[in-house]
Amino acid sequence: MEPHNKTRVSKFLLLGLSEETELQPLIFGLFLSMYLIAVFGNLLILLAVTSDPRLHTPMYFFLSNLSFVDICFTSTTIPKMLQNIQTQNKVITYEGCITQMYFYILFAALDDFHLGVMAYDRFVAICHPLHYTVIMNPWLCGLLVLVSWIVSATYSVLHSLMVLQLSFCSDLEIPHFFCETKQLVHLACSDTFPNNMVLCVGAGILGGVPLAGILYSYSKIVSSMCRISSAQGKYKAFSTCASHLSVVSLFYCAGFGVYLSSAATHSSRSSVTASVMYAVVTPMLNPFIYSLRNKDIKSALKRFFGEATFIKGPFALGLRNCS
């Protein structure tokens, strides 16, 4: 397109999930509820892990990091969406859009990496139990998390810088509830081939490598479980992986399944559905999956709230005696 047809972009319009006015209160209430559940649920996981020394193990270290990432993941997109619905204003500034896109890519990639690292942790715990504490030492655990952050941040910066080089035309409406990368690139009227290439290669590497690691880890875990003679031993080994496997299935099925159908039908609505599934629904369900199936988490929360009640009781009694 000719240069004179390009405009200097200062804002975009986020069309959201639906443009029907009567549905906005329902959407607002639904997403506010899901956001609060996701934030408070993951905060409870963080609270349980940090407050109980018995949970200061590699598995719960990675789980607490995943919970922190999920809180940030949902906070990147949902508050702005709720603000737009409440104020009936669909505008997001150009700088705000690029910033939102950066953090969305960052935390989506971190989710991928953390799920892969957690699968490796379970692989070592089940296949090499005698060497678990030696292999999964604090230095290695910290290094795995640090590398995940560095790679994810680098990939996010690369995308953001490439989008900053794009020129946008007069059509600045994004058919999404946040600044999703593909939708943003699609609006550009300059050459987007490099952006699309980085998107495809990045999705293959950042999505494929952790998934390959997960599949390899669980193939070894299943092989190891088959060699366990007792049914109780098999159940114990499976129970340690069940929560993680449930989260992995939910995350990847939502991401790959719906996005593949969206690519096949070229439907932006399918893309929005996919984003809701893995950016909102999965972080919301993670605390339930891990806490309901995990006796250690439930016990840690009971002890914490039990101690809080015990402290509150004498404190309140002291106040009454002073009055």
On the question of pLDDT at 148 being above 60, the answer is: yes
SS (H, E, C) 7-30: CCCCEEEECCCCCCHHHHHHHHHH
φ, ψ at 175 (rounded to 5°): -75, 60
Q: How far apart are CA 163 and CA 98, in angstroms?
A: 8
Q: Give the pLDDT confidence of 30-51 residue by residue, as tens digits.
A: 999 999 999 999 999 999 999 8
φ, ψ at 174 (rounded to 5°): -100, 115
Reported as a pLDDT band with limits 50, 70 and 90, residue 5 is: very low
Residue 12 β-bridge partners = 92
Phi-psi category of 157—alpha, beta or left, where left has phi over 0 and alpha has psi -120 to 50? alpha
Reported as a pLDDT band with limits 50, 70 and 90, residue 3 is: very low
Check residue 205 and give its pLDDT: 85
Q: Give the pLDDT confidence of 91-144 residue by residue, as tens digits.
A: 999 999 999 999 999 999 999 999 999 999 999 999 998 999 999 999 999 999
Question: Can you list the domains of the chain with their CATH numbers?
Answer: 8-314 (1.20.1070.10)
On the question of pLDDT at 260 being above 70, the answer is: no
Q: Are 268 and 175 in contact (CB under 8 A)?
A: yes
φ, ψ at 173 (rounded to 5°): -90, 125
Q: Give the pLDDT confidence of 267-292 residue by residue, as tens digits.
A: 566 677 777 887 888 899 888 888 76
Q: Encoding tokens for residue 123?
A: 């692989």
Q: How far apart are CA 245 and CA 249, in angstroms?
A: 6
Check residue 122 and give its pLDDT: 92
Check residue 191 and give its pLDDT: 86
Q: Encoding tokens for residue 32?
A: 């506010």
Alpha helices in the chain (DSSP H): 24-51, 58-87, 94-127, 132-135, 138-164, 181-187, 193-202, 208-226, 231-252, 258-265, 268-276, 282-292, 295-322
